[in-house]
Structure 1
Amino acid sequence: MLTFEDCIALTDLTEDEIAAIAEHEHLPAIVAAELGNYLVHDSAGCPAIRRMILDDIDSARARGDTRHALALKLVLKHFVETHPDAVSATTGTGA
């Protein structure tokens, strides 16, 4: 039987990146891990994950949760550093 940690290890994402997907899509973490795994291996998926994290940052800012927005900015920074294809010439750098 696989644990949640095993499932995370099978993706190319961190637990925080999966949590951002779960937050954006209103999904349980295990389902977000599967979605994230699918997206990170799809040509259009990394930009989609980047957009989800940016949307989460905007939502946190809108509700005045600056601490969460800052944490998500660090998640975004790590994601873009480890998945350079998340930023295309037409999408800019975000945040």
Structure 2
Amino acid sequence: MKPQIYHVHARPMPSAGQSNRRAARRYPTSQKAIIMREEKQLCHGEIIDMSSGGAQIKVVRQQMVPDEVNVLILGETYMKDIPVSVQWRSDGRLGVMFLSHGKVY
């Protein structure tokens, strides 16, 4: 029996432009956030990156967060209340899409 030779090729690494499939650029940040539903506080979190269309939020209890909530972003001189839709959950983090520009207080 003649041995068979298999050629194995590694997949090429994506270029810098291909690795981020999102339309908007993400920016690292560290802002406190409160996850709310119907004016009830569900949990605290930290926004670790944000774009014009959404954010990644580190939370302690991701299983307590329903699919549609409001994120209250706590800045040094402002508060912003934004309705969001949870797009993914993984390892204590949530990926959310902004549903509007929200309200600034």
TM range (shorter): under 0.3
Structure richer in helix, relative to its length:
1
Higher Cα radius of gyration: 2
* TM-score, normalization by structure 1: 0.26
More strand by share: 2
